[in-house]
A and B are shown apart, each in its own frame.
Chain A
Amino acid sequence: MIEVEGLTRRFHDRELGTITAVDHVNFRADPGEIVGLLGPNGAGKTTTMRMLATLIAPDEGTARVNGLDVRQDAAEVRRSIGYLSASTGLYGRLTAREVLEYVARLQGCPDAAARADALVERFEIERFSHVTCDRLSTGMRQKVNIARALVHDPPVLIFDEPTAGLDVLVAQQLFTVLEEARAAGKCVLYSTHIMGEAERLCSRVVVIHGGRVRAETSMDELRSRAPDGRLETAFIDLVAGPSA
């Protein structure tokens, strides 16, 4: 599970001064559910997820992932999560299968080669598993990237706008993977600004804007806030107006 309390991150900019990208954010995500982190561009979704993935340190607050503190047990947190974002890249000179084995080794999987083979089969990437990643299409690369995030079978998945640039077929495959993960009792934090994706996948949502949580509720409750019952309308009502 993921527990976030008072999580804050500030950045210093020479011209803009101090910017609070994430401002005392609180939320939780439990095993067996997909929680959507919704917000417009620049809302603080990516910064929040990067703090949970220990890629950046919080300035204030605490976050626990799978019961582990992101500050105290950073390496163990990373072992517990599968992190995927639009900017996580693949080594162009490695083949798809080599990438999977390489990451499995870094994650400390006891039988990295067998694990890589299993994922090649599960994600149906046998056809291009021996092709170097720089020769793969965007969709193929993202398939390998999704497999890469799951290579060590982590209990928590943190996916940051993973459908960016994907065609509908690969996006559908991703949704299937996430639904299987939920069924397997994994905790999934899924960030997007595409309402349709959130409606399909998420049982609960955290709406974030200007670095602050505007709502943490169930999908049904959020929809019911809108006069027309549409998620998009409820979302726009929440994020309209000044960001801070």
Chain B
Amino acid sequence: MARDVNTLLLTVLFPLFLFPGAVWGMTQVESMREGWEEGLRPRVTVEGDAREPLPENVVEAIDRPAVARLTWRESEVEIAYRASDPESVIARDRLVDALDDPWPLEVHDVAPPGEALSVVVARVVPLILVVLSLFASMYPAVEAVVADRERGTQETSLSTAAPRWVFLAGKLVAVAAITLFAVSASVLSAAATLVHVAVLVGAEIALDPLRLLAIFPLAVLTALYGACVSLLAAAPTRSFKQAQNTASAAVTAVMLLALVGVLPRAELGSGLGWLPVSNAVLVMRAWLEGETPWAWTGVAAGELLLLGVASVWLATRWLRPGSLA
């Protein structure tokens, strides 16, 4: 058993703990979300003469912007909300629960057409970019490092006068290029499919294409970072199998960080803003939602670059332990 302790750790113990851990984490997140919803007091603008008190957990807006509007009419009550805003949806649900009987209700979604879908897209696209970057870079990195070693070609290269970092840089360029190409192809294909489906079902997406362009530099950095992480994971391993295991574990860990960025309460500027990868997802999400978070974009880019450089530096040291530079 001790002869293949890495396989034991990564293929047996890691999955054994991964799934219970993931379920526990999701339960915690769900419980946090429920707690957040319960504690939330959405602000509602009331027009007309109120004939019923508002639910206790709905606050009438006075000097702050409201997330929903309640209008009393002669024979009915109208509720206006935005389907794209989770807080507004909560306000709607509480008002409906409180007023449905005996008042006839008219509930209107006043969000511009396509806004709800664009919010979903703004959340999903950054996550997809990170996940694709990691998966697209994993096998090329393993191939570039471990297969190079197993074929004996690494020894051929390392016995030349060129410094070690040159080989790592070459591998990084190749892996990053493959990753970028794969991610671009996947995103284009996904976008075309999404637009086609939207046209078929008559749905609209209120997403400015320029916003997609705005996140492109960060997406490139994310792909580069994915390549760095995969190279780092593969560098110290001795066999293809071990490299696959290590890279899969590293990719899963980074993916969990990315998932944090799409949690309902994850916001830029909070503590999560300083968490690498989560931050990049949040920044891309903010750009897609119409914000212009320049400062946080700089922070996210800096973090990715710094971690990428650190990964390559470590990978250079681990590429051939004990060799002379």
Contact = CB atoms under 8 A, between A and B. Distances in A.
Interface of A: 14, 53-57, 70-71, 74-76, 78-79, 81, 83, 85, 87-92, 103, 106-108, 148
Contacts of A57: 322-324
A55 B153 contact: no
A74 B158 CA distance: 11
B156 interface: yes
A56 B156 contact: no
A88 B324 contact: no
A14 B156 CA distance: 29
Interface stretch (B129-137, B160-168, B196-204, B302-310): B160-168
A106 B161 CA distance: 6
A85 B161 CA distance: 17
A78 B155 CA distance: 12
Given A103-B160, A106-B160, A106-B161, A87 B152 contact: yes
B2 interface: yes
B157 A106 contact: yes
B159 A88 contact: yes
Given A55-B323, A89-B156, A148-B156, A76 B2 contact: no
Contact of A74 (B152, B153, B322, B325): B325
A74 B161 CA distance: 8
**Main secondary structure on chain A at its contact with chain B?**
loop
B320 interface: yes
Interface in B136-184: 151-153, 155-163
Contacts of A92: 151
Contact of A54 (B151, B152, B323): B323
B175 to A, nearest CB: 16
A89 B322 contact: no
Contacts of A56: 322-324
B163 A75 contact: yes
Max chain A C-beta neighbours (<10 A), residue from B153, B156, B320, B322: B156
A99 to B, nearest CB: 8
Nearest to B153: A89
Nearest to B156: A88
A101 B156 CA distance: 13
A79 B157 CA distance: 12
Interface string B243-275: 000000000000000000000000000000000
B159 A90 contact: no
B324 A106 contact: no
Given A74-B325, A92-B151, A55 B159 contact: yes
Max chain A C-beta neighbours (<10 A), residue from B2, B161, B162, B325: B161
Contacts of A81: 159
A76 B324 CA distance: 11
B155 A74 contact: no
Contacts of B324: 54-57, 70-71, 74
Contact of A88 (B152, B161, B163, B323): B152
A159 to B, nearest CB: 12
Query: Which 3 residue pairs are nearest across A and B when measured between Cβ atoms?
Result: A89-B152, A74-B324, A79-B161
A85 B151 contact: no
Contacts of A87: 152, 155
Given A56-B322, A75-B163, A106-B161, 9 more contacts: A54-B324, A56-B324, A75-B162, A78-B159, A78-B160, A103-B156, A103-B160, A106-B160, A107-B161
Nearest to A81: B159
A75 B165 CA distance: 12
Nearest to B325: A74
A53 B159 contact: yes
B2 A14 contact: yes
A54 B161 CA distance: 10
18 contacts: A14-B2, A53-B159, A56-B322, A56-B324, A57-B322, A57-B324, A74-B325, A75-B162, A75-B163, A78-B161, A79-B160, A88-B156, A89-B152, A89-B155, A89-B156, A90-B153, A90-B156, A107-B162
A91 B157 CA distance: 10
A78 B323 CA distance: 12
B153 A83 contact: no
B248 to A, nearest CB: 24
Contacts of B152: 87-89
B160 A88 contact: no
A85 B158 CA distance: 13
Contacts of B161: 75-76, 78-79, 106-108
A146 B324 CA distance: 23
A88 B158 CA distance: 10
Contacts of A83: 159
B295 to A, nearest CB: 43
A75 B158 CA distance: 10
Contacts of A89: 151-153, 155-156
A108 B162 CA distance: 8
Nearest to B163: A75
Given A71-B324, A92-B151, A55 B158 contact: yes
